[in-house]
Chain A
Amino acid sequence: MATLDSKVPEGPIKDKWTNYKNHIELVNPANKRHIDVIVVGTGLAGGSAAATLAELGYNVKAFAYQDSPRRAHSIAAQGGINASKNYMGDGDSDYRLFYDTVKGGDYRSREANVYRLAEVSGNIIDQCVAQGVPFARDYGGLLDNRSFGGVLVSRTFYAKGQTGQQLLLGAYSAMNRQIARGKIEMFNRHEMLDVVKIDGKARGIIARNLITGELERHSAHAVVIATGGYGNVYFLSTNAMGSNVTAAWKVHKRGAFFANPCFTQIHPTCIPRSGDYQSKLTLMSESLRNDGRIWVPAKLEDAKAIQEGRLKPTQIPEEDRDYYLERRYPAFGNLVPRDVASRAAKERCDAGYGVNATGEAVYLDFASAIERYGKEQAKLKGLNNPSKEEIIKLGQDIIKAKYGNLFQMYEKIVAENPYETPMMIYPATHYTMGGVWVDYNLMTTVPGLYCIGEANFSDHGANRLGASALMQGLADGYFVLPYTIGDYLADDIQTGKIPTNTPEFDAVENEVKERIEFFVNNKGSKSVDYFHKKLGKIMWDKVGMSRNEKGLKEAMAEIKALREEFWKDVNVPGNANEMNAELEKAGRVADFLELGELFAKDALTRNESCGGHFREESVELEGEQKGEAKRNDEEYAFVSAWEYKGEPADAVLHKEHLEFNDIELKQRSYK
């Protein structure tokens, strides 16, 4: 069976990528025409990879379940994308971006990959600008930057609050050019349901045409998985509704190791759940924490009155409010990192101080910022003795200029005016750092099978800093994979077309078909969503922000039981040979029901708190960090790579030990 070889090149970290590129095998342009590559997923990672591989001359077949590549989940990213351009002259460099990313990930990512990411980050901006991405500009016509969560330099490029959209449209336009040239064949509304291996190498996929229900066989010399993250295992998340783990899980079952499944990012500032019907959660940009103060009532009876609608937040006097972040973390206050803020909110809500009907919300209050800005404006404008109303009006104008679109979005969803009453926020699942294990080449443990973007595990460690996922997706797709895949494909120039009428394709297609037939014939009594919601609740309660041994063991058993019930009692209406959204969901939830258990198992083996993952058994017992998360580098500075062995509980752990030669390992402190 495959063993873990990260294939990190020798030499100093600064030269690894250059040396590597100088020594890999190249494919002659005339030969690229004889090579087919399948790219599954057309978000930032898959879209940029498909366009670049086609540009290089390979024949690309690209797949996405949406009706157009432009609608992939990447479209939703708001904040921005990092790059170490040092346009601001504030001392940024590749090394600093590398350092911040490794430290932000709590030393659980692979140094060499992260350095390469920082190295190519500047290229991404050049590329996107050339494609017509309208990044924000300053008055001199040069690119503007902002700073993002916990970094000391300004390196985030942005296009209003729609950076993901604009970057994806850039990649989509690059794809369009190749589609027009006939170099990319695009399969919209197609879902990859399995991978086909021949002689141990990935050589094709089985996809379902989502309009007709037909199963199709597609062959290629290499297969690239770029299918995004699996945050929807929690049911409620900020991900698009269709985001799923199916492709990643299916390749795992065919031999690709799955790494760090329990590393999930929980984002502190989302609009809370308002009832059981809720289908997804909406992210509010973290930038709001720059001016908002977070609090809950200090008295339980006040919290209760608010939950029941008898009291309004504005009626609670200052002395009866608990600004718990400012209280616990005086140095960082409301600006503590995502994981600390999230955990603290959950702790207060679990203790009964939540402020909406479900008891799962805290306030994000702009009243003091409005007053502060108002007074400043009144001074600037030379107003003597301004009235309270005048001050508030002036302050609100400043807040509007800074966050107007976010306030409007909040008001549309919640139907409350956040200028007048504090916003309600609660943590939600946002991004998954775990994923398919890949080596330095971005190849999985299956030869010829690659994995890029959020679907792989490599660059973010136990935590992801803001604005770094978009960077990774585009780095992989535009600048890394197109090189590394050539090294592998150089051996395939004589192979010729891979036939699809082989026993290997027959066998996999049959398995896919049997499963689909099972679903439409089962006629159980419960809908797919019933199971998905139940799974989500187990995951959130026991494998969410804080975890302990007992809860994790319970979660594993409960998920297993739920999975058994699912296979007995799931009800999928309609047929296999038509557009059938419930059938699509059934397949995805079946995979989530397996991943969820491995996720809990992975968390169980990691008896340390790191990144956003708080293990209740692993806390600082003394000193000024008392009660805070405790990382354990001695025992856990490794990547957990799981090998499939049937039941998720039987998966076998392989460890990739992480070495930090260029950065010293340090504990975090936010006190």
Chain B
Amino acid sequence: MNLTLKIWRQKDASSKGAMVEYKVTDISEHMSFLEMMDVLNEQLINTGEAPVAFDHDCREGICGMCSMYINGQAHGPDRGVTTCQLHMRSFKDGDVITIEPFRAAAFPVIKDLVVDRTSFDRIQHAGGYISVNTSGNTQDANAIPISKHAADEAMDAAVCIGCGACVATCKNSSAMLFVGAKVSQYALLPQGQVEAPDRVKNMVAQMDLEGFGNCTNTGACEIECPKGISLDTIARMNRELMKANI
């Protein structure tokens, strides 16, 4: 395939960015989207131009690093995948593809397509943990049985990869799906219940401080989430917050 790419180029956080057009040729439909970007970068390096900076690491859809806004969608047109799992067979010869960084006030651009998502980490520092000592004196793991149903549900929330697609796709740049997933995992397990009220209050407060918007129940986040995190987690977070406040 031959393609035209329109890519957001921005030298660093303080420079102004712009869309720049590139052509790539001989793209195989078996390539992943990031491999197509590798081809472009190899071409740019060989012609003395600066390659496009983008985040990636695992290339198997689990680390949550890769973050691109492709043709107006977080992680591109395919459902339930990250950018590294998106394959070029989702495109056709002659396509024009627009590639932008995830945009949100709480995710400032670092360079080209690389954004700073440490606001997610700071929300976790505010309470995304169970206060248990790590020095090996915990009680036997089977001492507190957990129903299979609760464990499975906690797992469904825990699979969030922290990619930020939910934020990027939300018209309010809300982080509620991410925070909802984190709060849900702990809310569903017996461990750490004593600090549950503080946990949800602190995490939500930090989320607001970071400049994420509010949820208006549009549901775009759930559709774009590569891990299928459900809107129910947002409802659960709101319930937990209400409980904590009374």
Contact = CB atoms under 8 A, between A and B. Distances in A.
Contact of B62 (A165, A412, A527): A165
Interface centre among A130, A413, A582 (most CB of B within 10 A): A130
22 contacts: A51-B134, A67-B65, A68-B162, A76-B63, A87-B142, A127-B138, A130-B138, A132-B154, A137-B152, A173-B124, A174-B134, A179-B125, A188-B118, A240-B58, A279-B32, A280-B60, A412-B87, A415-B29, A527-B46, A573-B45, A579-B12, A582-B51
B31 interface: yes
Interface stretch (A270-278, A435-443, A621-629): A270-278
Contacts of B34: 279
Interface residues of B, number: 77
B85 interface: yes
Given A165-B62, A176-B124, A274-B28, 13 more contacts: A75-B62, A132-B191, A141-B145, A142-B142, A160-B159, A166-B155, A173-B128, A176-B121, A180-B126, A211-B110, A241-B56, A241-B59, A578-B111
Contact of A160 (B57, B116, B129, B155): B155
Contacts of A172: 124
A277 B159 contact: no
Given A51-B134, A55-B134, A478-B134, A68 B120 contact: yes
Contact of B132 (A66, A130, A277): A130
Interface in A400-444: 412-415
A262 B191 CA distance: 43
Contact of B58 (A52, A76, A143, A574): A76
B159 to A, nearest CB: 6
A134 B81 CA distance: 23
Contact of B117 (A68, A76, A136): A68
Given A73-B58, A139-B148, A242-B57, A134 B155 contact: yes
A280 B191 CA distance: 38
A53 to B, nearest CB: 9
Interface residues of A, number: 77
Contacts of A280: 59-60
Given A66-B57, A412-B81, A579-B110, A132 B192 contact: yes
Contacts of A160: 155, 159
B28 A277 contact: yes
B96 interface: no
A483 B29 CA distance: 53
Nearest to B86: A412
Interface string B129-157: 11111111011111001111001101100
A126 B57 contact: no
Given A527-B45, A571-B45, A76 B129 contact: no
Contact of A176 (B49, B125, B148): B125
Tell me whether chain B's interface is mostly helix, strand or loop, or mixed.
loop
Interface string A122-153: 01011111111011111111110000000000
Given A278-B35, A527-B46, A581-B51, A71 B136 contact: no
A141 B146 contact: yes
Contact of B134 (A87, A127, A140, A169): A127
A426 to B, nearest CB: 15
B124 A573 contact: no
Contact of B141 (A125, A180, A412): A125
A378 interface: no
B57 A241 contact: yes
B45 A134 contact: no
Nearest to A140: B145
Contacts of A71: 57-58, 63-65, 162
B208 interface: no
A92 to B, nearest CB: 14
A188 B162 CA distance: 15
Interface in B49-107: 49-51, 53, 55-60, 62-65, 81, 85, 87, 89
A139 B152 CA distance: 11
Contacts of B56: 241
B83 to A, nearest CB: 13
Contacts of A412: 81, 85, 87
B169 interface: no
A299 interface: no
B148 A67 contact: no
Closest 8 CB pairs of A and B: A141-B145, A173-B129, A129-B141, A134-B154, A130-B138, A137-B151, A134-B155, A126-B138
A56 interface: yes
A527 to B, nearest CB: 5
Contact of A134 (B31, B116, B132, B189): B189
A173 B130 contact: yes
A482 B135 contact: yes
Contacts of A329: none
A127 B59 contact: no
Given A76-B62, A141-B147, A578-B12, A529 B128 contact: no
A277 B125 contact: no
Interface in A179-207: 179-180, 186, 188
